[in-house]
Amino acid sequence: MREQDADQLKDRLFELRGELARLRSLTARGMIQKQSGSPARVKRDIASVLTVMKEKGAIE
């Protein structure tokens, strides 16, 4: 992830946020369990991308 440029990181962040929204929707409808760990995994991935972006100075 650290080898990617700022545009690739922004694209990945957009994808992850969309995935998180989809998982939250499925959880609200009862199609997946909160305990599945999927939302937590995606949130950790988002945090990782944001950390790398901050290190590269891609975000303020």
pTM of the predicted protein model: 0.84
Q: Tens digits of per-residue pLDDT, 12-43?
A: 999 999 999 999 999 888 888 777 788 899 99
pLDDT band at 60 (very low <50, low <70, confident <90, very high): low
Return the pLDDT at 10: 93
Helix, strand and coil content of the chain, in percent to the nearest 5, comes to 75, 0, 25
Task: Flag whether pLDDT at 6 surpasses 80.
Answer: yes
Return the pLDDT at 46: 97
Rounded Cα gap, residues 60 and 53, in angstroms: 9
